């Protein structure tokens, strides 16, 4: 299933405390941003990449793309104050380019091609499909450090990206959110509020977001595991 992908990369990485955009940090010598881009560069079904960037980082990112031979980036609009604005800027540019669109955090470099395939297939069939994994821990709702209830774990999923949509569904949802001043933490929330069913595709625990320093250690370990599996 052919698709285009939008990668928000215009964050500041405050929780990583690197003093600059965390996506420039390296894992096994290669920037996190390039690890993520490479997945889509190598996927034949991906027919274009849009990257939301900070204007002051555009040149350095363009140089990185050249250095690592990333050829599928078709647009690099300026990101916004919130992730949702960054994604919206890309979708506005890209929406005529394919019927299927994926949104994926640039900070999730370990997404597996098989999951992308399942997501695009499901979104093609139904309109909306997002990646998630089952919660592993006991989950409780807590208020002021006091437990209100233990939540049935069977029904709880940890949601990740990619999130895949018919392009028209995502653009409608973004437009409506923009008009209502609604801010969500992922694109699915914008679609959910239109009462459209969003399907969840089981992803892998590898697909972590590089958010804090500890995640870099996990990232290095995942890459080591993958290299061992190759040998
Ligand atoms: N992002 C973006 N525009 C923003 C904020 C975030 O494009 N205004 C991107 C980030 O670059 C990242 C993805 O959205 O690839 C997920 O966001 P997050 O992990 O929160 O990254 P940051 O916002 O950079 O980190 P922090 O919240 O710790 O500052
Ligand atoms: Mg953030």
Alpha helices in 68-210 (DSSP H): 83-94, 113-126, 167-180, 187-192
Nearest-atom index, ligand 1, CA of 80: 8
- Ligand 2 midpoint to CA 13 (Å): 7
Q: Is the whole-model pTM more than 0.95? A: yes
Question: Minimum-distance ligand to the CA of 9?
Answer: 1
What was the pLDDT predicted at 198?
98
Measured distance CA(153)–CA(176) in Å, rounded: 32
Nearest to 132 by CA among 106, 161, 111, 105: 161
Collapsed DSSP state (helix, strand, coil) of residue 93: helix
Q: How far apart are CA 107 and CA 39, in angstroms?
A: 12
Length of the chain: 231
Give, for all 231 residues of the chain, the pLDDT tens digit: 999 999 999 999 999 999 999 999 999 999 999 999 999 999 999 999 999 999 999 999 999 999 999 999 999 999 999 999 999 999 999 989 999 999 999 999 999 999 999 999 999 999 999 999 999 999 999 999 999 999 999 999 999 999 999 999 999 999 999 999 999 999 999 999 999 999 999 999 999 999 999 999 999 999 999 999 998
* Ligand 1, CB cutoff 6 Å, lining residues: 8-16, 22-23, 52, 79-83, 86, 105-107, 209, 211
- Write the pLDDT tens digit of every residue in 188-198: 999 999 999 99
The answer to whether the beta carbons of residues 24 and 56 sit under 8 Å apart is no
Which of the ligands is closest to the CA of residue 23? 1
Measured in angstroms, how far is the CA atom of residue 76 from the centroid of ligand 2?
19
Measure the CA angle with vertex 92, ends 47 and 202; round to 5°.
Answer: 55
Q: What's the gap in Å between 160 CA and the centre of ligand 2?
A: 14
Residue 193, Cβ density class (10 Å: 0-12 exposed, 13-18 middle, ≥19 buried): middle
């Amino acid at each position: 299933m052919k698709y285009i992908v939008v990668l928000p990369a215009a964050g500041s990485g405050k929780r990583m405390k690197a003093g600059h955009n965390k996506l420039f940090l390296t894992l096994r010598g290669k920037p996190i941003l390039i690890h993520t881009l490479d997945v889509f560069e190598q996927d034949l079904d991906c027919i274009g990449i849009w990257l939301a960037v900070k204007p002051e980082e555009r040149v350095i990112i363009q140089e990185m793309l050249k250095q690592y031979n990333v050829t599928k980036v078709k647009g690099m609009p300026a990101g916004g104050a919130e992730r949702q604005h960054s994604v919206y800027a890309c979708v506005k540019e890209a929406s005529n380019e394919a019927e299927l669109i994926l949104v994926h955090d640039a900070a999730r470099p370990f997404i597996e091609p098989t999951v992308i395939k399942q997501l695009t297939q499901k979104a093609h069939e139904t309109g909306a499909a997002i990646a998630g994994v089952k919660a592993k821990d006991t989950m409780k709702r807590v208020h002021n450090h006091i437990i209100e209830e233990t939540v049935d774990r069977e029904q709880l999923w940890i949601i990740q990206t990619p999130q895949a949509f018919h392009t028209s569904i995502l653009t409608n949802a973004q437009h409506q959110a923009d008009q209502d001043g609604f801010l969500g933490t992922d694109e699915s929330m914008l679609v959910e509020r239109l009462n459209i069913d969003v399907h969840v595709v089981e992803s892998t625990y590898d697909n972590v977001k590089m958010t804090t320093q500890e995640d870099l250690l996990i990232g290095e370990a995942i890459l080591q595991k993958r290299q061992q599996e190759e040998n």
